[in-house]
Amino acid sequence: MSESTTVSDNDTIIESFAKRISALENENKALTEEMETLKVEREEARAKLFESLISNKKYLRELERLKKENSLLRRMPLFLATVVEMGEDYVMLRQHGNNQEFITTAPPEIMEKLEPNTRVAINNSLTIVRILERSVDVRAKTMELIEAPSITYDEVGGLDSQIQEIRETVELPLTRPEIFEEIGIEPPRGVLLYGLPGTGKTLLAKAVANHSMATFIHMSGSELVHKFIGEGAQLVRDIFQMAREKAPSIIFIDEIDAVGSIRTHDGTTGSAEVNRTMMQLLAEMDGFRERGDVKIIAATNRIDILDPALLRPGRFDRIIEIPMPSEQARLKILEIHTQKMKQSPEVDLAEIARETEGGNGAELKAIAVEAGMNAIRREANQVSREDFIAAVKKVLGEDEERTDESLRMFT
């Protein structure tokens, strides 16, 4: 009995094992199938990823190319040309200045806007870069350059002797021309201000204009070259014409190195255009000798690259260096820019002036603004010594000498 029970038990065990094995086999098969599907899916995903990587790379390359092209276009001077005739897939242009005609093409979005007499800007490789609005009125542009600055001499710090000199040369002949007549000397016509960036040249020119009560025509050399492409010489002519009509007037040529640099004589059409502008400028400067009521102020950061023709005696009566501010001048400039600022009593501007050796006027102004911002960030109602110290560090950086000093002073 017990034996048969065992046999039958064995049978059941075997049977149940067989069942389990077959169930497991089934499961195994299902899992293997699932794995196969997953493998296929993984391969697909991998392929897609690879594709994306490739197209990503393609886009990056395209981006890089466009960036390069963009910066190249921005750097290169542009020239003016007019459409002479055009066909389905070509445009014939005539370049202004040298009257050269040539054939080129343009992307469809530009092509469809072109018609004979359209004015376009082209680059060195004679590609159309943009379309210019029709017959831009140079006159209107000259008018745009007239400014009425409100800067006073009080807002210019630490340049007392330079202010004195420029007043004698520019302001006095405009406001009291009779003095020169009486003594019988020819009034000076112009000054050139030179010095490192941010030392207050533009500021000073504006102050002179304000005090002289003269029409102030402000143009920048780099604008002449880059914005008024192909029209530089014409614009110079018009500016002097306008200055004569609206006299007494001051023509301020900022960044004169952009038109009057010796480096531009490299024989390209771009430099030819810049040189034409420069020649016109020299001609105008020489031509208005008799006129006592139009003055020129020019400014440059780079007197070292200026064309010697501009520096020749007779062109500018005075060449005035605008120096980096001394400690005393720095104090003055800080005072100017913190005049309306609520400061806590322990703020000592003299200390800040001492600690900002090598900083220029623009940086000192930035320090004042930054110190104010620091106070605002702290939600304080006055600017503290620490606000200034942090501002000096932020604007001028951690100068080594300064750090040594600040170990003593700023701790």
Ligand X SMILES: Nc1ncnc2c1ncn2[C@@H]1O[C@H](COP(=O)(O)OP(=O)(O)O)[C@@H](O)[C@H]1O
Question: Of the two residues 83 and 366, which places its CB atom closer to ligand X in the complex?
Answer: 366
Question: What is the size of the binding site for ligand X (CB under 6 A)?
Answer: 17
The CA angle 389-392-395, to the nearest 5 degrees, is 150
Q: Is 349 in the site for ligand X (CB under 6 A)?
A: no
Smallest separation, CB 203 to ligand X (Å): 3
Q: Is 338 in the site for Mg ion (CB under 5 A)?
A: no
Q: Is 338 in the site for ligand X (CB under 6 A)?
A: no
Q: Is 303 in the site for ligand X (CB under 6 A)?
A: no
The answer to whether the beta carbons of residues 222 and 317 sit under 8 Å apart is no
Question: Of the two residues 199 and 277, which places its CB atom closer to ligand X in the complex?
Answer: 199
Smallest separation, CB 200 to ligand X (Å): 3
**Partner touching 362 among ligand X, Mg ion, none, CB below 5 to 8 Å by kind:** ligand X
Secondary element (H or E) of residue 271: helix 269-287
Token code pair at residue 180: 């020169």
Smallest separation, CB 90 to ligand X (Å): 46
* Binds ligand X (CB under 6 A): choice among 156, 208, 310, 371: 156
Token code pair at residue 121: 């800007």
Smallest separation, CB 360 to ligand X (Å): 6
Secondary element (H or E) of residue 299: strand 294-300
Smallest separation, CB 180 to Mg ion (Å): 29
Q: Is 219 in the site for ligand X (CB under 6 A)?
A: no
The answer to whether the beta carbons of residues 248 and 289 sit under 8 Å apart is no
Strand partners, 95: 81
Under rule CB under 5 A, which residues in 193-252 are in contact with Mg ion?
201-202
Q: Is 362 in the site for ligand X (CB under 6 A)?
A: yes
Q: Is 353 in the site for ligand X (CB under 6 A)?
A: no
Question: CA 146 to CA 136: how far, in whole Å?
Answer: 18
Q: Is 210 in the site for ligand X (CB under 6 A)?
A: no
Q: Tell me the per-residue interface mask from 223 to 262 with ligand X, x by CB under 6 A, - otherwise.
A: ----------------------------------------
Q: Is 356 in the site for ligand X (CB under 6 A)?
A: no
Question: Of the two residues 126 and 324, which places its CB atom closer to ligand X in the complex?
Answer: 324
Whose CA is closest to 163, among 203, 113, 121?
203
The answer to whether the beta carbons of residues 242 and 142 sit under 8 Å apart is yes
The answer to whether the beta carbons of residues 228 and 235 sit under 8 Å apart is yes
Q: Is 188 in the site for ligand X (CB under 6 A)?
A: no
Give one DSSP letter per residue of 196-246, joined into a string. STTSSHHHHHHHHHHHHT-EEEEEEHHHHHHTSTT-HHHHHHHHHHHHHHT
Whose CA is closest to 96, among 231, 6, 253?
231
**Partner touching 159 among ligand X, Mg ion, none, CB below 5 to 8 Å by kind:** ligand X
**Partner touching 157 among Mg ion, ligand X, none, CB below 5 to 8 Å by kind:** ligand X
The answer to whether the beta carbons of residues 231 and 335 sit under 8 Å apart is no
**Beta strand pairing status for 79-86 and 91-95?**
antiparallel
Question: Of the two residues 201 and 295, which places its CB atom closer to Mg ion in the complex?
Answer: 201
Task: Report CA-CA distances (Å) from 382 to 180, 331, 333, 341.
Answer: 51, 20, 20, 8
Residues forming the site for Mg ion (CB under 5 A): 201-202
Footprint of ligand X on this chain (CB under 6 A)?
156-159, 197-203, 299, 333, 336, 361-362, 365
